[in-house]
Chain A
Amino acid sequence: MAAKTQRLEVTLETLLESVDLAENIIMRISEVAGFGEDDRHKIGMAVREGVVNAYNYGNQQDRRKKIFLTIEFDPEKMVVRVLDEGEGFEIEEVPDCLAEENLLRTSGRGLFLMRAFMDEFTVQRGRGGGAELVLVKKLPQNAARNGEFQVQ
Protein backbone atom coordinates (compact mmCIF):
# COMPACT_ATOMS: atom_id res chain seq x y z
CA MET A 1 0.00 0.00 0.00
CA ALA A 2 1.37 3.40 -0.93
CA ALA A 3 1.10 6.31 1.46
CA LYS A 4 2.25 9.92 1.24
CA THR A 5 4.52 10.82 4.07
CA GLN A 6 6.68 13.66 5.32
CA ARG A 7 7.15 12.26 8.78
CA LEU A 8 7.51 8.69 9.91
CA GLU A 9 7.66 7.50 13.50
CA VAL A 10 8.75 3.99 14.41
CA THR A 11 8.88 2.57 17.93
CA LEU A 12 11.59 -0.04 18.22
CA GLU A 13 12.05 -2.68 20.88
CA THR A 14 15.36 -2.66 22.72
CA LEU A 15 16.61 -5.67 20.82
CA LEU A 16 19.66 -6.35 18.69
CA GLU A 17 17.32 -7.01 15.76
CA SER A 18 16.09 -3.41 15.96
CA VAL A 19 19.50 -2.24 14.76
CA ASP A 20 19.17 -4.01 11.41
CA LEU A 21 15.49 -3.08 11.19
CA ALA A 22 16.22 0.62 11.62
CA GLU A 23 19.00 0.47 9.06
CA ASN A 24 16.75 -1.29 6.56
CA ILE A 25 13.99 1.29 7.06
CA ILE A 26 16.25 4.28 6.56
CA MET A 27 18.00 2.71 3.57
CA ARG A 28 14.66 2.17 1.87
CA ILE A 29 13.45 5.67 2.62
CA SER A 30 16.75 7.19 1.50
CA GLU A 31 16.48 5.39 -1.81
CA VAL A 32 12.98 6.69 -2.39
CA ALA A 33 14.14 10.19 -1.42
CA GLY A 34 16.70 10.08 -4.19
CA PHE A 35 19.97 9.60 -2.32
CA GLY A 36 22.72 7.84 -4.25
CA GLU A 37 24.28 4.54 -3.19
CA ASP A 38 27.18 6.07 -1.31
CA ASP A 39 24.95 8.46 0.63
CA ARG A 40 22.49 5.65 1.39
CA HIS A 41 25.32 3.61 2.83
CA LYS A 42 26.46 6.51 5.00
CA ILE A 43 22.95 7.35 6.17
CA GLY A 44 22.20 3.69 6.90
CA MET A 45 25.37 3.30 8.89
CA ALA A 46 24.83 6.55 10.82
CA VAL A 47 21.31 5.50 11.82
CA ARG A 48 22.57 2.04 12.66
CA GLU A 49 25.14 3.58 15.00
CA GLY A 50 22.44 5.76 16.54
CA VAL A 51 20.26 2.78 17.34
CA VAL A 52 23.25 0.80 18.61
CA ASN A 53 23.96 3.72 20.94
CA ALA A 54 20.36 3.70 22.17
CA TYR A 55 20.33 -0.09 22.57
CA ASN A 56 23.66 -0.41 24.35
CA TYR A 57 24.31 2.81 26.22
CA GLY A 58 20.96 4.59 26.47
CA ASN A 59 18.60 1.75 27.28
CA GLN A 60 21.38 -0.54 28.59
CA GLN A 61 19.76 -3.43 26.68
CA ASP A 62 16.73 -3.16 28.96
CA ARG A 63 13.86 -4.75 27.02
CA ARG A 64 11.26 -2.77 28.96
CA LYS A 65 12.52 0.41 27.33
CA LYS A 66 11.84 1.61 23.79
CA ILE A 67 13.79 3.33 21.05
CA PHE A 68 11.94 6.00 19.08
CA LEU A 69 13.02 6.55 15.49
CA THR A 70 11.61 9.57 13.70
CA ILE A 71 12.28 10.53 10.08
CA GLU A 72 11.17 13.93 8.82
CA PHE A 73 11.55 15.70 5.50
CA ASP A 74 11.44 19.33 4.58
CA PRO A 75 12.21 20.64 1.10
CA GLU A 76 15.92 20.81 1.81
CA LYS A 77 16.83 18.00 4.15
CA MET A 78 16.06 14.75 5.88
CA VAL A 79 16.14 14.79 9.68
CA VAL A 80 16.43 11.53 11.61
CA ARG A 81 15.96 11.43 15.36
CA VAL A 82 16.88 8.48 17.59
CA LEU A 83 15.53 8.81 21.11
CA ASP A 84 16.18 6.42 23.97
CA GLU A 85 14.80 6.07 27.48
CA GLY A 86 18.12 6.21 29.28
CA GLU A 87 19.81 8.84 31.40
CA GLY A 88 21.15 10.97 28.56
CA PHE A 89 24.75 12.10 28.19
CA GLU A 90 26.87 15.13 27.42
CA ILE A 91 28.67 14.76 24.12
CA GLU A 92 31.54 16.90 25.40
CA GLU A 93 32.31 14.17 27.92
CA VAL A 94 32.74 11.47 25.29
CA PRO A 95 36.45 10.75 24.71
CA ASP A 96 37.89 11.78 21.35
CA CYS A 97 38.32 8.49 19.49
CA LEU A 98 40.93 10.04 17.20
CA ALA A 99 43.24 11.01 20.05
CA GLU A 100 46.41 8.96 20.09
CA GLU A 101 45.71 7.60 23.57
CA ASN A 102 42.25 6.38 22.51
CA LEU A 103 43.08 4.64 19.25
CA LEU A 104 43.21 1.22 20.89
CA ARG A 105 39.90 1.62 22.71
CA THR A 106 37.40 -1.00 21.61
CA SER A 107 34.37 1.32 21.84
CA GLY A 108 33.45 4.96 21.43
CA ARG A 109 33.51 5.40 17.64
CA GLY A 110 29.77 5.38 16.97
CA LEU A 111 29.21 9.08 17.64
CA PHE A 112 32.22 9.95 15.53
CA LEU A 113 30.89 7.94 12.58
CA MET A 114 27.47 9.57 12.85
CA ARG A 115 29.08 12.99 12.68
CA ALA A 116 31.35 11.94 9.83
CA PHE A 117 28.57 10.48 7.69
CA MET A 118 25.88 13.13 8.13
CA ASP A 119 25.81 16.84 7.33
CA GLU A 120 24.79 17.78 10.86
CA PHE A 121 24.82 15.81 14.08
CA THR A 122 23.70 16.93 17.51
CA VAL A 123 22.79 15.33 20.80
CA GLN A 124 20.07 16.82 22.94
CA ARG A 125 18.02 15.89 25.94
CA GLY A 126 14.84 14.16 24.83
CA ARG A 127 11.47 13.93 26.49
CA GLY A 128 11.83 11.83 29.62
CA GLY A 129 15.50 12.69 29.97
CA GLY A 130 16.97 10.24 27.47
CA ALA A 131 19.41 11.13 24.74
CA GLU A 132 18.02 12.28 21.42
CA LEU A 133 20.44 12.00 18.54
CA VAL A 134 19.57 14.31 15.64
CA LEU A 135 21.05 13.39 12.28
CA VAL A 136 20.59 15.67 9.29
CA LYS A 137 21.34 15.02 5.62
CA LYS A 138 20.71 17.53 2.87
CA LEU A 139 18.57 16.15 0.10
CA PRO A 140 20.35 15.48 -3.19
CA GLN A 141 19.92 18.05 -5.95
CA ASN A 142 17.72 15.79 -8.04
CA ALA A 143 15.34 14.90 -5.22
CA ALA A 144 11.74 16.08 -5.16
CA ARG A 145 11.74 19.46 -3.47
CA ASN A 146 8.18 19.48 -2.31
CA GLY A 147 9.03 17.17 0.58
CA GLU A 148 6.49 14.61 -0.56
CA PHE A 149 7.09 11.23 -2.04
CA GLN A 150 5.72 7.78 -1.68
CA VAL A 151 7.17 4.91 0.29
CA GLN A 152 5.87 1.64 -1.03
Chain B
Amino acid sequence: MALQGTCREIEDVAIVDFSGKITLGEGSSTLRRTVRDLINRGHRKILFDLGDVDYIDSSGIGEMVAAYTSVRSVQGELKLVRLTKRVHDILQITRLFTVFDVQTDEAGAIRSFRSIQQS
Protein backbone atom coordinates (compact mmCIF):
# COMPACT_ATOMS: atom_id res chain seq x y z
CA MET B 1 0.00 0.00 0.00
CA ALA B 2 1.34 3.43 -0.95
CA LEU B 3 2.22 5.73 1.92
CA GLN B 4 -0.43 8.21 2.96
CA GLY B 5 0.01 11.00 5.46
CA THR B 6 -2.84 12.84 7.16
CA CYS B 7 -1.96 15.99 9.10
CA ARG B 8 -3.76 17.31 12.17
CA GLU B 9 -2.81 19.71 14.94
CA ILE B 10 -3.09 19.48 18.70
CA GLU B 11 -2.02 22.63 20.49
CA ASP B 12 1.00 23.69 18.46
CA VAL B 13 2.12 20.19 17.49
CA ALA B 14 1.64 19.00 13.92
CA ILE B 15 0.80 15.30 13.99
CA VAL B 16 1.10 13.26 10.81
CA ASP B 17 -0.72 9.93 10.80
CA PHE B 18 1.14 7.81 8.28
CA SER B 19 -0.17 4.57 6.85
CA GLY B 20 1.38 2.23 4.31
CA LYS B 21 4.97 1.55 3.39
CA ILE B 22 7.90 3.96 3.56
CA THR B 23 9.96 2.61 0.70
CA LEU B 24 12.00 3.74 -2.30
CA GLY B 25 9.89 5.78 -4.71
CA GLU B 26 6.47 7.11 -3.88
CA GLY B 27 6.60 6.36 -0.15
CA SER B 28 9.83 8.26 0.37
CA SER B 29 8.59 11.13 -1.81
CA THR B 30 5.37 11.45 0.19
CA LEU B 31 7.31 11.67 3.43
CA ARG B 32 9.73 14.23 2.02
CA ARG B 33 6.90 16.38 0.62
CA THR B 34 4.95 16.24 3.87
CA VAL B 35 7.89 17.41 5.97
CA ARG B 36 8.78 20.17 3.53
CA ASP B 37 5.20 21.46 3.54
CA LEU B 38 4.99 21.45 7.33
CA ILE B 39 8.26 23.35 7.67
CA ASN B 40 7.20 25.86 5.02
CA ARG B 41 3.96 26.42 6.91
CA GLY B 42 5.97 27.29 9.99
CA HIS B 43 5.61 24.11 12.00
CA ARG B 44 8.53 23.33 14.29
CA LYS B 45 6.99 20.65 16.50
CA ILE B 46 6.28 17.61 14.38
CA LEU B 47 5.12 14.19 15.50
CA PHE B 48 4.97 11.18 13.20
CA ASP B 49 2.40 8.58 14.20
CA LEU B 50 3.72 5.38 12.60
CA GLY B 51 1.14 3.02 14.04
CA ASP B 52 -0.05 2.01 10.58
CA VAL B 53 3.38 1.76 8.96
CA ASP B 54 4.45 -1.85 8.98
CA TYR B 55 7.25 -1.65 6.44
CA ILE B 56 10.25 0.59 5.96
CA ASP B 57 13.25 -0.11 3.75
CA SER B 58 16.70 1.50 3.70
CA SER B 59 15.46 4.30 1.43
CA GLY B 60 12.61 4.97 3.85
CA ILE B 61 15.06 5.01 6.75
CA GLY B 62 17.19 7.50 4.82
CA GLU B 63 14.16 9.68 4.25
CA MET B 64 13.31 9.59 7.95
CA VAL B 65 16.85 10.71 8.77
CA ALA B 66 16.57 13.47 6.16
CA ALA B 67 13.29 14.58 7.77
CA TYR B 68 14.97 14.63 11.17
CA THR B 69 17.86 16.79 9.95
CA SER B 70 15.52 19.11 8.01
CA VAL B 71 13.43 19.81 11.10
CA ARG B 72 16.52 20.21 13.27
CA SER B 73 17.99 22.67 10.76
CA VAL B 74 15.13 25.07 11.48
CA GLN B 75 15.51 24.58 15.25
CA GLY B 76 12.51 22.30 15.37
CA GLU B 77 11.88 18.85 16.81
CA LEU B 78 10.67 15.67 15.14
CA LYS B 79 9.41 12.84 17.32
CA LEU B 80 7.96 9.43 16.60
CA VAL B 81 5.12 7.61 18.27
CA ARG B 82 3.35 4.24 18.02
CA LEU B 83 6.01 2.28 16.20
CA THR B 84 5.04 -1.12 14.84
CA LYS B 85 7.33 -3.98 15.76
CA ARG B 86 8.96 -4.08 12.36
CA VAL B 87 9.73 -0.36 12.27
CA HIS B 88 10.86 -0.54 15.90
CA ASP B 89 13.22 -3.41 15.11
CA ILE B 90 14.68 -1.63 12.06
CA LEU B 91 15.36 1.54 14.07
CA GLN B 92 16.94 -0.57 16.77
CA ILE B 93 19.35 -2.56 14.60
CA THR B 94 20.37 0.56 12.66
CA ARG B 95 21.05 2.38 15.97
CA LEU B 96 18.59 5.12 15.00
CA PHE B 97 16.87 4.74 18.34
CA THR B 98 19.77 6.78 19.61
CA VAL B 99 18.88 9.55 17.14
CA PHE B 100 15.08 9.70 17.13
CA ASP B 101 13.00 10.64 20.13
CA VAL B 102 10.54 7.73 20.22
CA GLN B 103 7.49 8.23 22.41
CA THR B 104 5.04 5.57 23.52
CA ASP B 105 1.80 7.54 23.40
CA GLU B 106 0.49 10.67 21.76
CA ALA B 107 -0.41 12.63 24.88
CA GLY B 108 3.03 12.08 26.36
CA ALA B 109 4.66 12.95 23.07
CA ILE B 110 2.81 16.26 22.87
CA ARG B 111 3.81 17.13 26.43
CA SER B 112 7.43 16.25 25.70
CA PHE B 113 7.97 18.96 23.11
CA ARG B 114 9.98 21.71 24.63
CA SER B 115 8.96 25.31 24.24
CA ILE B 116 9.80 26.24 20.68
CA GLN B 117 8.81 29.45 18.99
CA GLN B 118 6.84 28.51 15.87
CA SER B 119 7.69 30.80 12.98
Chain A positions within 8 Å of B, measured between CB atoms, are 16, 19, 41, 45, 48-49, 52, 97-98, 103-107, 109-110, 112-113, 116
Contacts and interface: CB of A to CB of B under 8 A. Distances in A.
Contacts of B86: 41
Contacts of A106: 62-63, 65-66
Interface string B11-46: 000000000000111000000000000000000000
Contacts of B96: 103
B25 A16 contact: yes
| Chief secondary structure at chain B's binding surface | helix
A52 B57 contact: yes
A116 B93 contact: yes
Contacts of A19: 23-25
Chain B interface size, under 10 / 10 to 19 / 20 to 34 / 35 or more: 20 to 34
B99 A104 contact: yes
A88 B90 CA distance: 27
B35 to A, nearest CB: 13
Given A52-B59, A105-B62, 4 more contacts: A19-B25, A52-B57, A97-B94, A112-B58
Interface string B45-74: 000000000000111011101101100000
B116 to A, nearest CB: 20
Contact of B65 (A16, A98, A104): A104
B95 interface: yes
20 contacts: A16-B25, A19-B23, A45-B57, A48-B23, A52-B24, A103-B96, A104-B68, A104-B69, A105-B62, A106-B62, A106-B63, A106-B65, A107-B58, A107-B59, A107-B62, A109-B94, A112-B94, A113-B58, A113-B93, A113-B94
